């Protein structure tokens, strides 16, 4: 034991070791970026198993992304060997999903429930709106957004308190109730349900809760600052105050998911929720050189209302930060590519230790083009892109129907894929009939002979489709692995065949992607098999038996392979892509959380880009909560860098189909100029001088906060549909005149917005780039 213990504590500083050695009861580790919080979690888990002899299956460690979970598991496998296999290391969503699947019957689902994504959700909301007869009143996107928020706040429709005269609130509540019914009828859940249903189950069924409480005696959470109320409710149920072994680590300065319902108060109030909790502060940063740390500190310290935290480093001062100023976004991208090549040529920094960050996804296109041209190997870290391809979604829809034929959203998606001559009219008659009879579409297909006014051809085609689904479902019941099921599905549906027959380059690429999906299933099966072997091995290695009557089985033990595979697909997140060796990583700032790189390029430091235009609208002198969040995002970006930090901006930029001249970001003005190598009394050399906001030394200005002239930024806008937060913005359209945005969808040049133009024009859906602000 002693040897183990020494090895595990060897490279930890005293407060880190204190957190690892902390005995029982709640523990909060609150500290700045790069101070070893994640390392503490990993070591503590290893210590619990190796030294304190806690069974690995008793430990639940929650991280923010699947990628982070994977990395933590790898680390733990190095420390613990086969035993790491029995640990539950996962995201909130996947932990909830695994538990919910075991308890499905208790919440009105079956084990084969499917998880609906954003697109499925939207079509369901539309249907619920039609059923409730509220279609013209509100936009589906807006309602969906509000439903998601209710779920993040742990509220079902019946928990919503809405004033009688709050018409919109009433509508949301009604649609929400109908939407939940549709989900249950389809044997489906959405992301929000995963935690919400579990929290409700634990509340209503103390016996079920007790089983999991007895099992998970140790719960640890990374990035705790970004938990939302329903996630926190889940934690409090599983590891209740005041004395449960709940370990949370985080940094309030890195709370960047408020827009998804995260509540930074969860971390700030933790000592009140868990009175007597031990609090450990880590103050030494091991990641970044001094100059980088100083810059990050200067930016974040402008935020009001922070917990005071110290952060120091023994690392050298390091290189200066570099400021790259360009004519436009293309020049910026080219320069980034050049600098990356130069760093690599110098020989100290590998491509895989470099990253390029940007504020919104739409900025990546130009960067990608420039990197391609310069032959810089790169990878976009956007985990969903593969699974979001149309053909992969079609195939997944079939797989989900295979497991769960009641999934109406999936059935509608593939009713006529590949084309089988089922037209809109037939589809409408089928859905009307299903609605009237209260049947799922699959059941309605079985009763198709009762559908009025369907001709013989339509009957026959529906019959063929019904047979296909029945046959696939029957196969799934006995499928021994995921790959077998995918293979069978591809054969019976002829998805690949049809594409190959089409013969165009594009169709062939799509066919390749479907084979790639088969490859993913094979990989999944292999992993599952080796996990099982490791798990058996781990059980043998341990002398002690699991105590009688305690549930120690792996959470996914009885889940059929196809469903487990589907679950993995559904839960792939934005930040989950594996960056392969030898590539520069491109990602949004939000996806960069928790990561580190030798060199970081932070692009688009312009008012209206970063900080995002959304944050410029506040009337509050310090920019309000939205600006504070942008600032935290900047802090997260800076502190990802170990040795080199490049910040870049363009004098003009076309984004979302609009040309904008934005002033430099206020965050640049917060970085002491000396860190860029500009001497205090020197004027910085042109052309940089013109673009750098002058740093004024008047104390009043410091009180006033932003020093950047904001008159320009008011004129800029973006029509970014992501998050739908352009709503309320005034815009003009050449033909329709001026109006106000009520909803937005998509992003990039094809983003569409719905605008209320007033008068006889009324509501119109238009392409965002045809609008100008004002």
Give the catalytic positions in this structure. 37-38, 222-223, 254, 640
Decide if 186 contacts 211 (C-beta within 8 A).
Answer: no
Are the C-beta atoms of 28 and 277 separated by less than 8 Å?
yes
- Per CB under 6 A, the segment of 33-41, 132-140, 373-381, 446-454 that binds ligand ATP is 33-41
288 binds ligand ATP (CB under 6 A): no
Contact between residue 399 and residue 489 where contact means Cβ atoms under 8 Å apart:
yes
Stretch that binds ligand ATP, among 12-20, 333-341, 355-363, 612-620 (CB under 6 A): 12-20
Distances from the Cα of 353 to the Cα of 343, 347, 642, angstroms: 11, 12, 10
DSSP letter string, 21-90:
H--SS-EEEE--TTSSHHHHHHHHHHHHHHTS---GGGEEEEESSHHHHHHHHHHHHHHHGGGGGGSEEE
Segment near Mg ion (CB under 5 A), from 198-206, 385-393, 590-598, 708-716?
A: 590-598
245 Cβ contact list (under 8 Å, min separation 6): 24, 25, 26, 217, 218, 219, 239
Among residues 33 and 104, whose Cβ is nearest to ligand ATP? 33
CA distances from 322 to 57, 343, 621, 649, 677 (A): 48, 13, 30, 11, 8
**Least separation in angstroms between CB 666 and ligand ATP:** 23
> Which of ligand ATP, Mg ion, none does 461 bind, CB closer than 5 to 8 A by kind?
none
251 binding ligand ATP? (CB under 6 A): yes
Residue 83 or 639 having the CB closest to ligand ATP: 639
CA-atom Rg of the chain in angstroms: 27
CB 704, CB 723: distance < 8 Å: no
- Contact partner, 561, from ligand ATP, Mg ion, none, Cβ < 5-8 Å per class: none
Spatial neighbors of 768 by CB under 8 A, at least 6 apart, are: 656, 657, 719, 721, 744, 751, 752, 753
Q: Which of 178, 561, 594, 611 binds Mg ion (CB under 5 A)?
A: 594
- The answer to the question of whether 34 is labelled as a binding residue is yes
Q: Label residue 690 exposed, middle or buried (CB < 10 Å: 0-12, 13-18, 19+).
A: exposed
**Contact region with ligand ATP (CB under 6 A), list: 10-18, 505-513, 565-573, 755-763:** 10-18
Q: Which of residues 16, 31, 35, 38 is near Mg ion by CB under 5 A?
A: 38
Cβ proximity to ligand ATP: between 86 and 222 the closer is 222
Q: Shortest Cβ distance from residue 215 to ligand ATP (Å)?
A: 27
DSSP 287: S
- Sequence length of the chain is 774
Q: Which residues pair with 59 in a beta bridge?
A: 218
Retrieve residue 52's tokens: 């304190």
Contacting ligand ATP within 302-341 (CB under 6 A):
none
Contact set for ligand ATP, span 372-411 (CB under 6 A): none
What is the distance, to the nearest Å, from the Cα of residue 121 to the centroid of all Cα atoms in its chain?
16
Euclidean distance between CA atoms 677 and 684, whole angstroms: 9
**Which of ligand ATP, Mg ion, none sits in contact with 39, Cβ below 5 to 8 A by type?**
ligand ATP
- Residue among 383 and 594 whose Cβ is closer to Mg ion: 594
The option from Mg ion, ligand ATP, none interacting with 36 (CB < 5 to 8 A, set by class) reads ligand ATP
State the DSSP H helix or E strand holding residue 608, giving kind and residue range, or none if neither. none
529 is in an annotated binding site: no
- Kindly state the smallest distance separating residue 277's Cβ from ligand ATP, in Å: 19
520 binds, among ligand ATP, Mg ion, none (CB under 5 to 8 A by kind): none
Nearer of residues 12 and 248 to ligand ATP, judged by Cβ = 12
> With binding defined as CB under 6 A, does residue 36 bind ligand ATP?
yes
Residue 773 touches which member of Mg ion, ligand ATP, none, C-beta under 5-8 Å by kind: none
Residue nearest ligand ATP, CB atom distance: 36
Give 744's strand partners. 753
Alpha helices in 133-289 (DSSP H): 140-152, 167-185, 191-204, 206-215, 229-238, 265-268, 270-273
Token output for 624: 């309000």
Rounded Cα gap, residues 176 and 172, in angstroms: 6
Stretch that binds Mg ion, among 73-81, 587-595, 617-625, 673-681 (CB under 5 A): 587-595
Structure-block tokens of residue 283: 């103050």
Residue 36 binding Mg ion, by CB under 5 A:
no
Min CB(51)–Mg ion separation in Å: 23
Nearest partner of 630 among 152, 257, 224, 145, judged by Cα: 257
Question: Cβ of residue 236: shortest distance to ligand ATP, in angstroms?
Answer: 23
Q: Which is nearer to ligand ATP, 311 or 719 (CB)?
A: 311
CB of 98 to Mg ion, least distance (A): 23
- Please identify which residue in 22, 39, 44, 215 interacts with ligand ATP, judged by CB under 6 A: 39
CB half-sphere exposure, 310, CA atoms < 13 A:
7
Orientation of helix 167-185 relative to helix 140-152, angle to 10° = 80
Q: Which does 13 bind (CB under 5 to 8 A by kind): Mg ion, ligand ATP, none?
A: ligand ATP
With beta carbons less than 8 A apart as the criterion, state whether 447 and 439 touch.
Answer: yes
Q: Does 225 bind ligand ATP (CB under 6 A)?
A: no
Residue 673 within binding range of ligand ATP, rule CB under 6 A = no
Q: Which is nearer to ligand ATP, 6 or 711 (CB)?
A: 6
Residue of 8, 15, 16, 67 that binds ligand ATP (CB under 6 A) = 16
> How is 343-395 classified by DSSP, letter by letter?
HHHHTSS-GGGEEEEESSGGGHHHHHHHHHHTT--EEE--TTTTTTSHHHHHH
35 assigned binding-site residue: yes
Question: Which residue, 87 or 766, has its beta carbon nearer to Mg ion?
Answer: 87
Q: Is 385 annotated as a binding residue?
A: no
How far is residue 638's CA from residue 629's CA, in Å, rounded to a whole number?
A: 14
Tokens of 699: 């104390």
Does the annotation list 36 as a binding residue?
yes
Q: Is 38 in the site for ligand ATP (CB under 6 A)?
A: yes
Range list of β-strands (E), 428-583: none
- Note whether 231 binds Mg ion by CB under 5 A: no
Q: Which of 374, 294, 283, 355 is nearest to 586 (CA)?
A: 355
Instruction: Tell me whether residue 32 is annotated as binding.
Output: yes
Size of the site for ligand ATP (CB under 6 A): 17
CB atoms under 10 Å from CB of 118, counted, come to 13
The residue within the footprint of ligand ATP, chosen from 11, 204, 512, 516 (CB under 6 A), is 11
Full DSSP string of 669-717: HHS-GGGGT--TTSPPPTTHHHHSPP----HHHHHH---S--HHHHH--
Partner interacting with residue 16 (select from ligand ATP, Mg ion, none; CB below 5-8 Å by kind): ligand ATP
Is 78 a binder of ligand ATP (CB under 6 A)?
A: no
Residue 247 CB, nearest approach to ligand ATP (Å): 13
- Do the beta carbons of residue 254 and residue 637 sit within 8 Å? no
Q: Considering only 5-13, 60-68, 104-112, 721-729, which stretch makes contact with ligand ATP by CB under 6 A?
A: 5-13
Size of the site for Mg ion (CB under 5 A): 3
| Least distance from ligand ATP to the Cβ atom of residue 33, Å | 4
Residue 399 site contact among ligand ATP, Mg ion, none (CB < 5 to 8 Å, cut-off depends on kind): none
Choose the contact partner of 286 out of Mg ion, ligand ATP, none; CB within 5 to 8 A by kind.
ligand ATP
CA 666 – CA 293 distance, rounded (Å): 18
Binding residues: 31-38
Chain contacts with Mg ion (rule: CB under 5 A)? 37-38, 594
Please give the residue ranges that form the binding site for ligand ATP (CB under 6 A).
11-13, 16, 33-39, 251, 254, 286-287, 594, 596
Task: Specify binding-site residues for ATP.
Answer: 31-38
């Amino acid at each position: 034991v002693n040897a183990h213990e020494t090895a595990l504590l060897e490279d930890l500083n005293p407060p880190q070791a204190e957190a690892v050695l902390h005995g029982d009861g709640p523990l909060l580790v609150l500290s700045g970026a790069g101070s070893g919080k994640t390392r503490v979690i990993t070591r503590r888990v290893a210590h619990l198993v190796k030294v304190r002899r806690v069974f690995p299956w008793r430990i639940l460690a929650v991280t923010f992304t699947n990628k982070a979970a994977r990395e933590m598991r790898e680390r733990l496998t190095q420390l613990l060997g086969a035993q790491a296999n029995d640990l539950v290391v996962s995201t909130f969503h996947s932990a909830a999903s695994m538990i919910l699947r075991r308890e499905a019957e208790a919440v009105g689902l079956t084990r084969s429930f499917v998880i609906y994504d954003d697109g499925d959700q939207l079509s369901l909301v539309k249907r619920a709106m039609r059923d409730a007869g509220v279609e013209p009143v509100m936009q589906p996107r807006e309602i969906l957004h509000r439903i998601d928020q209710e779920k993040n706040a742990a509220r079902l429709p019946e928990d919503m308190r809405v004033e009688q005269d709050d018409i919109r609130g009433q509508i949301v509540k009604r649609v929400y109730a109908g939407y939940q019914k549709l989900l249950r009828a389809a044997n489906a859940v959405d992301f929000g349900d995963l935690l919400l249903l579990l929290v409700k189950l634990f509340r209503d069924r103390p016996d079920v809760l007790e089983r999991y409480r007895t099992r998970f005696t140790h719960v640890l959470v990374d990035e705790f600052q970004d938990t939302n109320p329903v996630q926190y409710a889940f934690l409090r149920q599983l590891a209740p105050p005041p004395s449960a072994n709940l370990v949370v680590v985080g940094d309030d300065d890195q709370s960047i998911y408020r827009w998804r319902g995260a509540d930074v108060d969860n971390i700030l109030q933790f000592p009140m929720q868990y009175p007597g909790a031990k609090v450990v502060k880590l103050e030494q940063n091991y990641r970044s050189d001094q100059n980088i740390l100083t810059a990050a500190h200067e930016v974040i310290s402008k935020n009001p209302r922070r917990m005071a935290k110290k952060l120091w480093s023994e690392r050298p001062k390091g290189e200066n930060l570099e400021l790259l100023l360009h004519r436009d976004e293309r020049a910026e991208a080219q320069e980034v590519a050049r600098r990356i090549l130069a760093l690599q040529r110098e020989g100290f920094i590998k491509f895989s230790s470099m990253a390029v960050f940007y504020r919104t996804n739409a900025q990546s296109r130009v960067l990608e083009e420039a990197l391609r041209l310069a032959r810089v190997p790169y990878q976009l870290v956007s985990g969903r892109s593969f699974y979001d391809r149309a053909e992969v979604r079609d195939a997944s829809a079939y797989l989900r129907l295979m497991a769960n034929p009641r999934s109406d959203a999936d059935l509608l998606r593939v009713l006529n894929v590949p084309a089988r001559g089922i037209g809109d009219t037939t589809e409408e008659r089928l859905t009307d009939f299903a609605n009237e009879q209260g049947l799922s579409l699959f059941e309605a297909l079985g009763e198709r002979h009762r559908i009025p006014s369907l001709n013989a051809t339509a009957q026959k085609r529906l019959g063929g489709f019904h047979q296909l689904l029945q046959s696939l479902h029957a196969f799934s019941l006995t499928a021994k692995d995921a790959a077998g099921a995918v293979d069978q599905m591809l054969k019976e549906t002829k998805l690949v065949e049809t594409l190959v027959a089409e013969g165009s380059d594009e169709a062939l690429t799509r066919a390749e992607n479907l084979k790639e999906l088969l490859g993913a299933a094979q990989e999944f099966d292999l992993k599952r098999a080796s996990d099982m072997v490791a798990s058996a091995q781990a059980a043998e290695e341990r002398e002690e038996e699991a105590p009688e009557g305690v549930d120690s089985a792996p959470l996914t033990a009885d889940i059929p392979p196809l469903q487990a595979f589907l679950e993995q697909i559904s839960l792939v997140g934005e930040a989950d892509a594996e960056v392969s060796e030898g590539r520069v990583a491109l990602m949004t700032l939000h996806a960069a959380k928790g990561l580190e790189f030798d060199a970081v390029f932070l692009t688009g430091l312009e008012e209206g880009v970063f900080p995002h235009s959304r944050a410029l609208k506040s009337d509050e002198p310090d920019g309000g909560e939205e600006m504070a969040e942008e600032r935290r995002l900047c802090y997260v970006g800076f502190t990802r860098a170990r040795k080199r930090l490049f910040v870049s901006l363009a004098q003009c930029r076309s984004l979302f189909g609009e040309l904008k001249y934005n002033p430099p970001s206020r965050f640049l003005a917060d970085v002491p100029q000396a860190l860029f190598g500009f001497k205090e009394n020197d004027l910085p050399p042109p052309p940089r001088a013109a673009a750098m906001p002058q740093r004024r030394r008047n104390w009043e200005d410091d009180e006033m906060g932003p020093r950047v002239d904001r008159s320009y930024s008011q004129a800029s806008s973006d029509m970014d549909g992501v998050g739908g937060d352009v709503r309320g913005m005034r815009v003009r359209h050449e033909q329709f005149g001026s109006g106000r945005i009520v909803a937005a969808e998509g992003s990039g040049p094809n983003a569409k917005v719905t605008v209320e133009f007033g008068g006889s024009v009324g509501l119109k859906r238009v392409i965002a780039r045809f609008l100008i602000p004002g």
